[in-house]
């Protein structure tokens, strides 16, 4: 098949570490927007984390949000401009720590926005601290002896949690650890945008991702760690799909 | 002939926002301003606007940021503790130059404080409650009519200068009922070519952002903004002078404290004391020129405030400490009485 | 038959394309690009089946695939 860079990405080289899967996910989002023909009426909301500079990479209007607040900012934009396609792009600290309330409530309100949630089980930008999604016994800078669930509790499973929120329309967890999964991830992301175009409400795609630098692994080994550890703790699949259940 | 309607301060403010073209209100309940949210909840759906009770004051200010970044007139309202919650969002809005209206109906503080009126958020409003170098335009109504007129003015100033604007009022003005003229006024609107609302053929992307990892660039952004603040300081101070022509003592007070002070001045004048008042209507920009001029004639100033003394610092700065400045204050939600102000005027006149 | 090109200066030598290629015809070269990385390259253009797995796996849009 022919393959070339999508118009949904600017020409700016990405600043991410070698092998960081942010780059793959950026591309899937950008390709989806271009293929759906909505790039020209899209406003993206950048969050705070390694992906803070998405306003340099996505080829559309962008608004920078404070840590955790992207779904609230997106709500404001979407209510002001209902014809715009509005998305957020957030990491695990942004979405599942400080932003928990904004995440849950934008889902509860069934805001007609698309949230791309990049879960790499660690805080990348600030140098590898424990995240709400860090696995039990996983070593990080702030869990140097491994995440001790008796002291700091268990990881937060975002898709499972949001599937219980009546307002949420579409919630799916995917991964970008191999070509087959990347194709599935693209399908889910495109569907999440298609839902917004059709006014179907809140769509969130959680993408299991790697952080080679802070996991202390080579890019290839990081993929393996995701395969063996994250994918078993955070099973891939559709957690909520109002459309699908409607047709049952 | 202007028809007047009896309205509550909070409701006059909300109606003024609608007159100004605001169709997006994001708020959260907190005493003593919940009437603003309740009024908007009723009015907005009827006129095709957005009313959203957010999950918190934090969420609400960020929704305002989003809507304003997308180029529409947007507002939120809260009271003291809720404004603290909004401080982060306000700093972001100042930094990325997104205009909107933020209303603080002050109550006693700090902390959970009380629900009675105060003016103890003056520092927070005028010295920047959030982090970084910035100013908000701050307007202080002293009547229900001003709750109406200054709200419209607030939106105009915010849009014209791309500076978030705060209406700093208190529970008394918010809750009191007075006749308001809702005469049609010509509301100024401003184009927003900078808004992030979808490119739609525009040849460049619009990015609303306050982050820069280049210190030189960030410094320049600050310098550019402060150049606009300078214009605001020259062109936009508003104040009212009351009995200042022959005044020897000048009271400085805003909001409800100014109304109490007016009564006190009437009483003091009956006793032969030559006292007047300068009432700042813009707390930022502070009416420095007017106060400087008064310092040439008056022998003393009295700052009348519902706080432990916050505006008094700005009075001293404005007159460059040329004359003594005294404080007449109550706090915690207690409103200073006109007897207390008269007593202070008498005390100062004997000094 | 497919032509695969690498925009070498965008490459960070992460090696994900090397693992992804089903024909094992992608490797990291010994050259150094302007960023100091060893960019990936194709060892045998003729053997390429144009599956674009390398391009799909690449986080930095280094790779372009053209079917001939």
Q: Which residue has the tokens 């699908």?
A: A244
Of C12, C61, C66, Cβ closest to residue A2: C66
Confidence of residue A248 (pLDDT cuts 50, 70, 90): low
**pLDDT above 70 coverage of chain B, percent:** 99
> Could you tell me which residues are beta bridge partners of residue C42?
C26
- CB-based contact, A20 to chain C, within 8 Å: yes
Chain A residues with CB under 8 Å of C56 CB are 3, 24, 179, 182-183
What fold does the segment set A22-246 form as a domain?
A: Rossmann fold (3.40.50)
What tens digit of pLDDT does each residue of C29-57 get? 999 999 999 999 999 999 999 999 999 99
- CB-based contact, A60 to chain B, within 8 Å: yes
CATH of B240-349, one of 3.40.50.720, 1.10.10.10, 1.10.1530.10, 3.40.50.920: 3.40.50.920
Of A59, A61, A102, Cβ closest to residue B206: A61
Chain Cα centroid distance, residue A43:
16
- CB-based contact, A179 to chain C, within 8 Å: yes
What tens digit of pLDDT does each residue of A118-158 get? 999 999 999 999 999 999 999 999 999 999 999 999 999 99
What tens digit of pLDDT does each residue of B39-69 get? 999 999 999 999 999 999 999 999 999 999 9
Rg of chain B taking only CA atoms, in angstroms: 20
C-alpha to C-alpha distance for B154 and B159, rounded to whole angstroms:
9
Q: Which domains are delineated in chain C?
A: 2-67 (3.30.70.20)
Give SS3 for B10.
Answer: helix
What's phi and psi for A88, nearest 5 deg? Answer: -115, 155
Distances (CA, A) of C9 to B141, C34, C39: 60, 6, 8
Name subunits touching A (3+ CB pairs < 8 A).
B, C
Nearest to A24 by CA among A120, A139, A128, A134: A120
- CB-based contact, A56 to chain C, within 8 Å: no
- Helix B9-19 to helix B144-161 angle (10° resolution) is 40
Of C18, C57, C63, Cβ closest to residue A179: C57
Give SS3 for B200.
Answer: coil
- CB-based contact, C64 to chain A, within 8 Å: yes
Average pLDDT over residues A179-207: 98
- CB-based contact, B48 to chain A, within 8 Å: no
Nearest to A178 by CA among A128, A124, A224, A146: A224
Average pLDDT over residues B92-102: 98
Tell me, what's the pLDDT at B1?
52
- CB-based contact, A14 to chain C, within 8 Å: yes
What tens digit of pLDDT does each residue of A89-108 get? 999 999 999 999 999 999 99
- CB-based contact, A79 to chain B, within 8 Å: yes
Distances (CA, A) of A218 to B43, C6, C42, C53: 58, 21, 21, 20
Instruction: Confirm if A208 and A226 have CB atoms less than 8 A apart.
Output: yes
DSSP 8-state symbol, B28:
-
What residue spans define the domains of chain A?
22-246
Sheet holding B165-170, edge to edge: B50-53, B24-27, B74-78, B101-106, B165-170, B137-139, B282-284
Nearest to C14 by CA among C50, C61, C66: C61
Token digits of residue B147: 């709750």
Tell me, what's the pLDDT at B183?
82
Tell me, what's the pLDDT at B202?
97
Mean pLDDT, chain A, as a whole number? 97
- Taking each continuous run of H as one helix and of E as one strand, the counts in chain B are 12, 15
What residue spans define the domains of chain B?
4-188+210-235, 240-349
Nearest to A175 by CA among A132, A123, A237, A93: A237
- How close is the nearest chain B Cα to the Cα of A87, in Å? 12
Instruction: Confirm if B211 and A46 have CB atoms less than 8 A apart.
Output: no
Average pLDDT over residues B129-143: 97
Tell me, what's the pLDDT at A220?
96
DSSP 8-state symbol, A82:
T
Distances (CA, A) of B340 to B117, B143, B259, B345: 17, 21, 13, 9
Tell me, what's the pLDDT at A247?
61
> Could you tell me which residues are beta bridge partners of residue A138?
none
Is the sign of the CA dihedral A208, A211, A215, A221 positive or negative? Answer: positive
Given a cut of 80, whether residue A162 has pLDDT beyond it is yes
CATH number listed for the domain at residues B4-188+210-235: 3.40.50.970
Average pLDDT over residues B201-225: 97
- How close is the nearest chain A Cα to the Cα of C10, in Å? 7
Of A2, A23, A179, Cβ closest to residue C60: A23
The burial of B183, by beta-carbon neighbours within 10 Å (0-12 exposed, 13-18 middle, 19 or more buried), is given as: exposed
Instruction: Confirm if B31 and B79 have CB atoms less than 8 A apart.
Output: yes
Token digits of residue A71: 């779904």
Residue of chain A whose Cα is closest to the Cα of B22 = A80
Do at least 3 CB pairs under 8 Å connect B with A?
Answer: yes
Average pLDDT over residues B131-157: 98
Distances (CA, A) of A245 to A98, A195, A241, B149, B324: 32, 15, 6, 52, 75
DSSP 8-state symbol, A94:
I
Q: Reduce the secondary structure of chain C to three states and give it as a string.
A: CEEEEECHHHCCCCCHHHHHCCCCCEEECCCCCCCCCCCEEECCHHHCCCCCHHHHHCCCCCEEEEEC
Tell me, what's the pLDDT at B138?
98
Is the sign of the CA dihedral B2, B7, B11, B12 positive or negative? Answer: positive
Tell me, what's the pLDDT at A243?
85
Average pLDDT over residues B138-151: 98
Question: Long-range contact list for A28-31, CB < 8 A, 24+ apart?
Answer: A28/A176, A28/A182, A28/A185, A28/A186, A28/A189, A29/A58, A29/A87, A29/A89, A29/A116, A29/A189, A30/A6, A30/A57, A30/A58, A30/A59, A31/A6, A31/A186
* Candidates A9, A179, A183, partner chain C, best to mutate (most C CBs within 10 A): A179
Chain C residues with CB under 8 Å of A19 CB are 12, 14-16, 59
Of A39, A42, A64, Cβ closest to residue B209: A64
- CB-based contact, A180 to chain C, within 8 Å: no
C 41-60 near A (Cβ less than 8 A):
50-53, 55-60
B 198-217 near A (Cβ less than 8 A):
198-201, 205-211
DSSP 8-state symbol, B330:
-
Of A64, A69, A75, Cβ closest to residue B210: A64
Given a cut of 90, whether residue B338 has pLDDT beyond it is yes
What tens digit of pLDDT does each residue of B266-309 get? 999 999 999 999 999 999 999 999 999 999 999 999 999 999 99
What's phi and psi for B47, nearest 5 deg? Answer: -115, 20
**pLDDT above 70 coverage of chain A, percent:** 99
């Amino acid at each position: 098949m022919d393959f070339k860079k999508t118009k949904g990405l600017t020409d700016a080289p990405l600043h991410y570490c070698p092998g960081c899967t942010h780059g793959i996910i950026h591309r899937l989002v950008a390709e989806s927007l271009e293929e759906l023909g909505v790039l020209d009426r899209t406003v993206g909301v950048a969050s705070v984390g390694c992906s803070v500079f998405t306003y340099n990479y996505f080829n559309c209007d962008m608004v920078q949000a404070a840590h955790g607040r992207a779904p609230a900012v997106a709500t404001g934009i979407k209510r002001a401009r209902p014809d715009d396609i509005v998305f957020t792009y957030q990491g695990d600290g942004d979405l599942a720590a400080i932003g928990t309330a904004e995440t849950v409530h934008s889902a509860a309100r069934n805001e007609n926005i698309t949230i791309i949630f990049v879960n790499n089980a660690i805080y990348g930008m600030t140098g590898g601290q424990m995240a709400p999604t860090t696995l039990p016994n996983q070593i990080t800078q702030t869990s140097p002896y491994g995440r001790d669930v008796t002291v700091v509790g268990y990881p937060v499973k975002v898709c499972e949690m949001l599937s219980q929120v009546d307002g949420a329309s579409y919630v799916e967890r995917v991964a970008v650890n191999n070509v087959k999964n990347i194709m599935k991830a693209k399908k889910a992301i495109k569907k999440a945008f298609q839902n917004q175009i059709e006014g179907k409400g809140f769509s969130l795609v959680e993408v299991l991702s790697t952080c080679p630098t802070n996991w202390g692994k080579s890019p290839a080994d990081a993929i393996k760690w995701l395969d063996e550890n994250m994918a078993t703790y955070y099973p891939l699949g559709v957690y909520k799909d109002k459309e699908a259940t409607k047709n049952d | 002939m202007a028809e007047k309607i009896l309205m509550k301060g909070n409701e006059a403010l909300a109606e003024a926002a609608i007159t100004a073209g605001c169709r997006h209100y994001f708020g959260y309940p907190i005493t003593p301003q919940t009437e603003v949210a309740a009024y908007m909840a009723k009015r907005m759906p009827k006129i095709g606007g957005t009313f959203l009770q957010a999950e918190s004051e934090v969420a609400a200010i960020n929704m305002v940021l989003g809507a304003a970044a997308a180029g529409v007139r947007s507002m939120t309202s809260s009271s003291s503790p809720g404004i603290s919650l909004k401080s982060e969002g306000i700093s972001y809005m100042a930094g990325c130059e997104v205009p909107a209206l933020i209303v603080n109906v002050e109550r006693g503080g700090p902390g959970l404080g009380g629900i009675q009126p105060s003016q103890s958020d003056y520092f927070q409003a005028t010295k920047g409650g959030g982090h970084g170098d910035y100013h908000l335009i701050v307007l202080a109504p002293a009547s229900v009519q001003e709750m109406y007129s200054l709200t419209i003015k607030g939106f105009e100033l915010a849009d014209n200068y791309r500076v978030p604007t705060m209406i700093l009022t208190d529970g008394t003005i918010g809750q009191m009922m007075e006749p308001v003229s809702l005469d049609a006024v010509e509301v100024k609107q401003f184009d927003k070519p900078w808004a992030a609302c979808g490119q739609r053929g525009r040849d460049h992307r619009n990015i609303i952002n306050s982050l820069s990892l280049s210190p030189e660039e960030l410094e320049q952004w600050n310098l550019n903004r402060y150049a606009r603040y300078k214009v605001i300081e020259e062109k936009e101070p508003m104040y009212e002078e009351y009995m200042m022509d022959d005044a020897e003592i000048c009271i400085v007070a805003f909001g409800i404290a100014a109304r109490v002070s007016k009564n006190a001045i009437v009483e003091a004048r009956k006793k032969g004391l030559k006292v007047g008042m300068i009432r700042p209507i813009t707390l930022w920009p502070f009416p420095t020129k007017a106060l400087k001029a008064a310092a040439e004639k008056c022998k003393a100033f009295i700052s009348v405030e519902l706080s432990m003394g916050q505006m008094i610092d700005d009075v001293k700065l404005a007159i460059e400490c040329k004359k003594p400045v005294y404080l007449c204050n109550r706090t915690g939600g207690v409103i200073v009485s006109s007897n207390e102000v008269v007593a202070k005027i008498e005390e100062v006149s004997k000094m | 038959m497919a032509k695969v090109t690498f925009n070498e200066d965008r490459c960070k030598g992460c090696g994900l394309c090397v693992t992804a290629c089903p024909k094992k015809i992608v490797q990291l070269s010994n050259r150094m690009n302007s960023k100091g990385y060893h960019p990936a390259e194709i060892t045998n253009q003729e053997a390429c089946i144009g599956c674009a797995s390398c391009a799909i796996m690449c986080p930095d849009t280094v790779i372009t695939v053209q079917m001939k």
